[in-house]
Structure 1
């Protein structure tokens, strides 16, 4: 069995993830493709992840790709998480992740509605009717918010208490539930938000007006194989447990997808990882590099086994639910964190000594980020210990 050193894995982060300055790309689409998908639970992450991997861009270029050219698309996929994906990958994400999620969410929401006793009859049929009415209303409007659609479709205003008797119990309308189902099944898409590029107040559009011809249909088996191939190219080598965690698939589904790929096992520091068979050649070590990555960036969130690039810094940089805050990478390993204060100032703290040359590169990246932010002051959706300390 061949082995792959930690140093080589870190070199791959710099080159494959487009974080070393010499590896940066020219477009938002290329940045997204280099990571398979971009995390988008926090809207600002998409823009800042692109900023870290490109040269010569500004937020308007990302907005153009998302909302004008529509070469990038926002959707729920792996682990019921929001991502921004290159348009050509959407069919694979739809078949391998979104469709099963739509089925699961429909069952869950249907059970809540049935338990609440607000429907007299077939709950599944009732849900299907509301979904169709909502889609039709959106087709008529062209684009709309959930609040606007609830005026057109009265049943969207149905109030359901999903946790009766609990301390956090609170009746809520089913508008968001229906929009989630329609989004997961590929009938509607999240369009341009109201506000700045860090806003999450999205408008919705019917898929017919966004992607002519809708989302191409492929089999779930083909979809899982293609998604796994791209993941291994970007994140390999990695243990199968990392693949299972990232995809959210069952171990059986992961193993079946792997049978359609030519992979090899390689020895990692303390374990075994999988790699595409045609990807055994070493990646040249790039020049010394620094990257200030945003909260939930796809690089630190790409693996479940993180010791080889995170070290002992997890408690300072992750929240209790496993979400990473803004981090500083130095030559493929995390060495500190950063934050934006209300004044717009980028502040940072090293968690280990990396020398004056690295600190100069960090200062330069902080200055570049300050320009990228402009007047926008987003607060990370998931606050982490170091980020809170730096902004106090």
Structure 2
């Protein structure tokens, strides 16, 4: 197994190769919820790019397809790990928060102290949010007004931190798009928007489920990768691994141990996707889902993907599992023009044609 072999196995596990089911699905995903469910959660702080992250894994879908899934509640957006917004499914919402919220809460303690945010205040606002978001949802402005009406200050960034605090308590999630908006979502009361009871969740079972789901959908990956993705300690990930016996296999590459779904072990000898050409959004799981990204992104090109190293990931082009360039769309709304910037020499005519076709597929996705 070589680094590029690892990358190609990840392409398959993440549902990025046409005809190959993501993770442990029996057939390729046919809905946005199946795409996201197979990965557990997907980076979604940039909503537009997150929609394409789902769309590129769901051939024939459109932006409207993803928005419809948000509108019907089969797909939700919430703070899922590392203080970052994620797409996930209703079934995974409670287990994810049970596993990841304590660490996020701890990481935000200093900010809350600075802003004078107390647990008593959060509890009060959780009740206010449940009421305000329970009948058809609320816009961000309406939610913040409900907080203000409850006696809380919402000036500066304090309002944002209050929203995150209530979300981490599981009280609200982001659901349908705001009427007339293609960029903003309504906040929905969790107990009315997500059916089913979650009070009896076992923390140990939830940890094992989330850890197993990561390795099945992102593997081959290391314990360090999983800890980064979930925002957990290495010890917690290792504890979760102990309960995954039989479900996962492993391979050693360069002295590191990589775990993956046992049902994918047959791919070790000849990983699929050698001729694949894919254009991905910024912040896509294929790159951002790992602490170490060298299997896909060569060190000399890191600056081209994350210019300034300020946390922004540009859209990327991948061929055979390797990151070979960036891309974008310019022009006008009526006449969008795709372009790509290769790393090194211009690609062959056939690869350039394939890249152009993939970018055109994105433009069509956005039109629909």
TM-score range, shorter chain: 0.7 to 0.9
Q: Tell me: CA distance 1:59–1:358, structure 2 relative to 1, closer, same or farther (3 Å).
A: same
Deviations 1:126-183 (CA, angstroms, capped at 9, x unpaired): 44333323333333x43212322344453567447xxxxxxxxxx5274333322221
Instruction: Give distance in 1, aligned partners of 2:197 and 2:160.
Output: 22
Does the Cα contact within 8 Å between 2:129 and 2:172 map onto a contact in 1?
no
TM-score normalised by L of structure 1: 0.80
Alignment partner, residue 112 of structure 1? 114
Q: Is the 8 A contact 1:245 1:304 kept in 2?
A: yes
User: What's the counterpart of residue 69 of structure 2?
Assistant: 65
Retained in 2: the 8 A contact 1:19–1:289?
A: no
1:290 Cα deviation (Å)?
0.8
Specify the alignment match of 2:124 in structure 1: 129
Q: CA 1:328/1:126 → structure 2, altered by over 3 Å: closer, same or farther?
A: closer
Q: Is the 8 A contact 1:337 1:350 kept in 2?
A: yes
Q: 1:207 to 1:92 in 2, by over 3 A?
A: same
Match 1:330 to one of 291, 315, 319? 319
2:304 to 316, 322, 329: 316
Question: Which residue matches 2:78?
Answer: 75
User: Quick one: structure 1 residues 112 and 132, their matched pair in 2 at CA, closer, same or farther if it must change by over 3 Å?
Assistant: farther
Partner SS for 2:99: helix
Deviation at 1:253, TM superposition (A): 0.9
Q: Is the 8 A contact 1:75 1:85 kept in 2?
A: yes
The whole-number CA distance in structure 1 between the counterparts of 2:133 and 2:29 is 37
Distance of aligned partners of 1:213 and 1:83 in 2 relative to their CA distance in 1, 3 Å threshold = same
Q: Which runs of 5+ in 1 are unaligned?
A: 116-122, 161-170, 376-392
Question: Post-superposition shift, 1:267?
Answer: 1.6
CA distance in 2, matches of 1:110, 1:317: 33
CA distance in 1, matches of 2:181, 2:359: 19
Counterpart CA distance in 2 for 1:11 and 1:112 is 45
Mapped contact 2:8–2:274 kept (Cα < 8 A): no
- 2:170 equivalent to 1:186: yes
Secondary structure of 1:310 counterpart: coil
Quote the residue 2:340 is aligned against: 348
Alpha-carbon shift at residue 43 of structure 1 (Å): 0.2
The alignment covers a number of residue pairs equal to 351
Assess if the C-alpha contact under 8 Å between 1:157 and 1:175 holds in 2.
Answer: no
Superimposed CA distance per residue, residues 42-72 of structure 1 (whole angstroms, 9 cap, x where no aligned partner): 001221112211222111111121111x111
Does the CA contact (< 8 Å) of 2:67 and 2:177 recur in 1?
A: no
- For structure 2, list consecutive stretches of 5 or more residues without a partner in the other structure: 21-27
Greater alpha carbon shift after TM alignment, 143-152 vs 297-306: 143-152
Matched, 1:202 2:185: yes
Cα separation, 1, equivalents of 2:327 and 2:149? 45
Mapping of residues 84-123 of structure 1, within 5 Å: 84-98=87-101, 100-102=103-105, 105=108, 107-108=109-110, 110-114=112-116, 123=118
Structure 1 residues 275, 47: CA separation in 2 closer, same or farther (over 3 Å shift)? closer
Change (3 A) 1:183 1:357: same
Distance 1:326 1:158 in 2: 39
Which is further off, 38-47 or 345-354?
A: 345-354
Q: What is the match of residue 361 of structure 2?
A: 368
Cα RMSD after superposing both structures: 2.7
Q: How does 1:197-236 map to 2 (within 5 A)?
A: 199=183, 201-213=184-196, 215=198, 217-236=200-219
Contact persistence 1:59–1:197 (CA under 8 A)? no
Q: Do the aligned residues in 2 keep the contact of 1:157 with 1:174 (CA within 8 Å)?
A: no
Mapped pair 1:289 → 2:276: yes
CA distance 1:251–1:271, shift in 2 (3 Å): closer
Whole-angstrom CA distance in 2 between matches of 1:83 and 1:38:
5
Q: Is the 8 A contact 1:228 1:257 kept in 2?
A: yes
Deviates more, 1:337-346 or 1:255-264: 255-264
> Offset at 1:272?
3.1
Supply the distance in 1 between the matched residues of 2:40 and 2:119 (Cα, whole angstroms): 35
Which residue of structure 2 lines up, in the alignment, with residue 253 of structure 1? 236
Structure (1 or 2) with the larger CA radius of gyration: 1
Take 2:226 and 2:157, find their aligned partners in 1: how far apart are those partners? 36
* Secondary structure of 1:280's aligned partner: helix
- Alignment partners' CA distance in 1, 2:189 and 2:199: 15
Distance 1:275 1:372 in 2: 31
